[in-house]
Amino acid sequence: MSYGSLPSGRVAEINGMLHVGWGNRMIQFKKGAWEGEEHHLPGIKGIGSVFECEGKGYVIDQCLSIYEWKSETRNLELLTKIPDEYQLIHRSAIGHNGIIYLVGGQIWGSGRVDCFDINKGEWETIKKMKKQRRSCSLAVIDDKMFVGGGRGAENSVECFSMEKQDRIHIKPTTKKECQLSSWNGKLVATGGLGKSNCVEMYDELSGDWLPLPVMNQGRCDHGACATKDNQLIVVGGFGGGKSVECLKM
């Protein structure tokens, strides 16, 4: 399947449909074409994160508010304002088992990991990371959250067991500041500093990063996500322009 091209941004599959958050717009891949590039979302200053959690889509607006995204009507419904003490700029976010995790942030990086329970409406700060990070990448596999790269942390990767609240050692990626994704139950890193076209997969048995076929276009600060039919989508970023690539397992 061809995904054509579109502006760079954050990408996620929501309700079986690809979504890219770009500025204050949400773009959807629908019926073989990208839609919504011309539509600005009212009240949104800039989309920082887009992700799916428990079958619902969520948008974080510059770490000020969390919204639920309604794909069918292209509407945002305010879930919660983020309290002042959790409003760090350049944070990354991901959802898992009804919990939204906000990670890192600030100009020089932060080790904070905060979480919001969607059902209970409660906030909590959990164990800090070893590294100070901003604009890092996140992936979840089973009950493990992987945190990679980001400004200030280069090619280091940290792994949290969310059930046990323990850390698990992970070998650094080959490239600095790459994007992590969960692809068919495997941890994959794409791109990186210097507009790398590198793609590698973490092998839990050996503890090594194994090379996969490279991307056509080198890129960093791009969007990456895996789809339910085991395609890995990479979007835009520095060096990638408006290009979209689809890697198949």
pTM of the model: 0.93
242 token code pair: 């408006």
User: Quick one: three-class SS letters along 184-212?
Assistant: CCEEEEECCCCCCCCEEEEECCCCEEEEC
SS (H, E, C) 6-59: CCCCEEEEECCEEEEEECCEEEEEECCEEECCCCCCCCCCCEEEEEEECCEEEE
pLDDT tens readout for residues 67-122: 999 988 889 999 999 999 999 999 999 999 999 999 999 988 999 999 999 999 99
- Cα separation of 113 and 124, whole Å? 9
pLDDT (tens digit per residue) in 14-29: 999 999 998 899 999 9
Sheet containing strand 144-148, edge to edge, reads 137-141, 144-148, 157-161, 166-169
As a whole number of angstroms, the distance between CA 153 and CA 72 comes to 39
pLDDT tens, the chain, 249 aa long: 446 555 556 899 999 999 999 889 999 998 888 888 888 998 888 899 999 999 999 999 988 999 999 988 889 999 999 999 999 999 999 999 999 999 999 988 999 999 999 999 999 998 889 999 999 999 999 989 999 998 889 899 999 887 767 788 899 999 999 999 999 999 999 999 999 999 999 998 999 999 999 999 999 989 999 998 889 999 988 888 888 999 886
Domains of the chain, CATH where assigned: 1-64 (2.40.10.500)
Alpha-carbon distance of 201 to 183, in angstroms, equals 9
